[in-house]
Amino acid sequence: MGQKFEITNDIRKLRFFSDEMTQQQLAEKAGVSRQTIVAIEGGKYNPSLELAFRIAHAFNVPIEDVFHYRVVEKKKKNNQKGEKS
């Protein structure tokens, strides 16, 4: 395989566009602790599918607007190619 994947999220941005929703408010809506929201936002914890849907539901957006799945290594290789050319 040799490829690494990464799950990123736009929670911070979505909170900002939801009238600067606090982490506490989001935690209440998603039914988790504030610490879990902090960890998810900082990329330290990947939530379960259920929690991911709950967070998306809290923002009233589809899940793909909150979480993004991407290949890390491919991007690095592409960057290297770009640097060489």
Partner 1 sequence: MAYQISRTITRILSGAILLIIYLVQVTNKYQAGLLAIDELQSLAQMMLLFIGIGIGVTIGMEIVFHILFSIGLAVKESVKKGSSCNDEEIEKTINQEFVEDEMAKLIDQKSLRVGYITAGIGFITSLVFLALDYPVFIMVNIFFVSFFIAGMMEGFARIFYYKRGV
Binding site for partner 1 (CB under 8 A): 24, 27-28, 31-36, 39, 42-45, 47-48, 51
What is the identity of the amino acid at 75?
K
CB of 28 to partner 1, least distance (A): 6
d(CA 16, CA 29): 16
What is the identity of the amino acid at 44?
K
d(CA 21, CA 15): 5
CB of 20 to partner 1, least distance (A): 16
CB of 4 to partner 1, least distance (A): 16
Q: 18, 59 in Cβ contact below 8 A?
A: yes
CB nearer partner 1, residue 8 or residue 80 = 8
CB nearer partner 1, residue 35 or residue 78 = 35
Residues across the chain: 85
CB nearer partner 1, residue 48 or residue 85 = 48
